[in-house]
Every structure is written in structure tokens, then in C-alpha cells.
Amino acid sequence: MKLRIAVSAAIGLASGLFCWFLTKHFHQDAADFRWALHLAQKLLARQNPYDTPLEQYPLTAALFALPFLRLQPETAAGTFYGLSSALLAFGLTRHSYRGLLIFLAYPYWAGLLSVQWSPIIAASAFFPFLLPVTMAKPQIGLPVFFTSASRRGIVACFIAGALSLAVLPRWPLLWVAQMKHYEHFVPLLVLPGPLLLLALWRYRDRDAILLLLAACVPQRWFFDSFILWLIPKSRREILATVFFSWGAGIWRWYYVPHNFTEVGRWAVIFLYLPMLAIVLTRSVAAAATDPQ
């Protein structure tokens, strides 16, 4: 346990400091985390938190941003991403340390550059008390919620939802009205996304269900796909998917996409299809070793 805590703390500190450095160096304020801070600030000021079309997070995100309001934006961003990474690392090391290899995946680093929620949402799969964070960014939180929910986690989500409604009862209507400004792609609807339906062959496998659910929700960029790294379990599976994920990173480095359909296509090719291969070949391997 002491080693797990030390390793998780080291990963959280390193990622948090690097995130702080990048937001400071590139003058990003708190990057994408600024919108959760904006919600919290407006909430405390008793003002409409959806006073700009750029605010597209549900009010539940404000509950998690409140502890960071007293910090400088860059410090808040680094602290948030560092804590998210530390919690994920602690969950991953419950059974072995090979799970830490998922931090090498390109979507994790894309998320670090823009201070995203995907690491802490992935961490919620290990800790029921964290499950309410899936409500902060439901378009990627729902796949994790439906594949990892426990009784305690559902109770925690109910409490968080009730608290947000008690503070501002009409926020769901205000938030839904903002969705027309959300530019996105849906992996399943972007060629060759329909191939992901092959995961139905493994419909009893929770990893296959996670893959299918993630393919059905709207997403904006490669960092949203980081939750897929809850699927690979062995060292070989993790390293293979990490390797292919950097195809998306290299493509992005040399090419600026013209629309979100292009982003979706390359996300499917380099992030989703390798996960599909993992799910399907895992079933073949299981069948090959079945003594019957």
C-alpha cells in the first residue's frame, strides 16, 4: 500500500507540474478546466452560469471545481490534472503495476495539454465515491457509469445530482439549450466506425460494452477516447494500443483537420479499431484454450 501511494503520488506530482508548466508557458489560463471554474464562480455569485455559448458543461462540473477557485488558474489546472492522474494510478495498481503503461497513450497527453476530465472519469471505474465525476462530462462519463456503476456509486451520483438541482433547479434546461453549440463527432457514424458493431459478438464482455457505448456518444477530440484504456489488461494489449494511438498524434502534428468528421475518422482508425481487435482476439484466444 505504501508503495502504491508513493508511485501514485509521484505520477500525480509529475503530471500536475508538467500540466501547470504547459498552461503557464502557452498562456492558456486553466485551459478547458476554466469552464468548470466559470460555472463555480457564477454559481457562488448567484448569476446565470450559462451566459456564454462556450459554456457547455453541466452544472455538476461546478461541484468538483469549487475547491480550486482560490488557486491561480494555471495552478488550479495543474492540481486538478495531477490529482486525477494520481487517483487513476492508485486504481490501476490495485492488482499490478503494468496498468500504469496506459499513461503512455496519446489521448492522455492530449488531455494534459488541454486539462481534460478523461483521467478522473477513468479513475471513477475503480472508486465508487468518484462515480459522480461521470456527470461532469456525461458524453464520455456515461460509458464508464454504465459499465462500472455500483450501489454506492449510484447513491453518490444521486446525491450530487440532487445537490446541483437544489442550487439551480433549472440548470438542465439551460445546459441542454447550449448543446446546439457543441461541435462533435460520433465514432460509430464516421467511416469506418460501423465496424465497431462487431464488438456485439462479445456482448457479454463488459469491455466490449464499454467500447460500444463509447462509440455511440458525441466526442470532440482524441482526449475523449482515453477512457478506452480501461479495456486492455495485459502488458501486450496495453502496449499495442498505446503504439497505435500515437498514429493519431503524429497525424495531428503534421495535419490540421478541416472538420470533426476527419478527427473522428482518425480516432476510429488509431484508437477504436485497435481496441476492437483486442476485444475480438481476446475471445478467439479464450475459445482456443477452452478444453471443450
* Mean pLDDT of the 259-280 span: 91
122 vs 177, which has greater pLDDT?
A: 122
Q: Is the pLDDT of residue 284 over 60?
A: no
Percent pLDDT > 90 in the chain is: 58
Q: Which long-range contacts (CB under 8 A, 24 or more apart) does 171-174 make?
A: 171/49, 171/50, 171/58, 171/59, 172/58, 174/48, 174/49, 174/50
Q: Is the pLDDT of residue 289 over 50?
A: no
* Other beta carbons less than 10 A from residue 279's beta carbon: 24
Q: Is the pLDDT of residue 290 over 50?
A: no
Tell me the per-residue pLDDT of 143-163, one tens digit each, with 9 for 90 and over: 999 998 889 989 999 999 999
Q: Is the pLDDT of residue 292 over 60?
A: no
Percent pLDDT > 70 in the chain is: 97
Dig out the grid coordinates for 28 from the structure.
492558456
Dig out the grid coordinates for 18 from the structure.
508538467
pTM of the model: 0.89
Say how many Å lie between the first and final Cα of the chain, rounded: 40
**Average pLDDT score over the chain:** 89
Tell me the per-residue pLDDT of 163-188, one tens digit each, with 9 for 90 and over: 989 888 888 988 888 888 788 899 99
pLDDT band at residue 283 using 50, 70 and 90 as cut-offs = low
